[in-house]
Amino acid sequence: MIPEVTGPEPRGTAPVVAGSSLDRMLIRRIRDGEELGLRSIFHSSVHDHGRTHYSSEQRSAWAPATFDSEAWVILMRSLRPWVVETADGLVAYGDLQPNGYIDHFYVAGSQGRKGFGSVLMGHLLAEAKAGGIDPIHARVSLTAQPLFLKHGFIITAGNTFILRGVEISNATMVRAGGG
């Protein structure tokens, strides 16, 4: 059985106007039933955006085509990510844990370079500031590092790990000083 999302209610939704062809977006918490849609965002992000830094083998190890959907739903409900919603549907998501860790931060493959990542990061940083969370840290893909750098994160370590028998690299990044 899949548990329901529990915990404190979010502080609210954040309507935002973006300077892209998709003029209006809403940042809000995930709702029950949207978890598998976030899996599609994750998969397309890794396979489309990650193509410049990771091989096909690495991308397939990171985001395989087949997956345990119940385990994914449980993970998303435990992370309670923020989602970016436009008239076209959900286009990005990211979480911020109480200890300052960003575990997931993904923009759909078809939605890159439209400002959704920056707006979502700004929202997470504002949540961190409002919640007194400092520092903020993440293990960031080579592809996403420029976005994190733009938002004041610094690289504190390079990482190499084995996932499904394949070596993958990323970096530990930290942003101190609150949101």
User: Per-domain residue ranges for the chain?
Assistant: 14-134
| pTM (two decimals) | 0.88
How many other CB atoms are there within 10 angstroms of residue 177's CB atom? Answer: 9
pLDDT 10s digits, 152-164: 999 999 999 999 9
Provide the CA 48 distance to its chain's centre, in angstroms: 15
Q: Rounded CA gap, 131 and 52, in Å? A: 35
Domain 14-134 fold is Aminopeptidase (3.40.630)
pLDDT tier, 177 (very low <50, low <70, confident <90, very high otherwise):
confident
Examine the pLDDT at 32 and tell me if it is beyond 60: yes
**Inter-CA distances, 73 with 38, 53, 70, 77, 174, Å:** 9, 28, 5, 6, 28
When comparing pLDDT for 50 and 178, which is higher? 50
pLDDT digits (tens, 9 = 90+) for 51-81: 999 999 999 999 999 999 999 999 999 999 9
Half-sphere exposure in the Cβ direction for 91 (13 Å, CA): 22
Structure tokens at 52: 């410049």
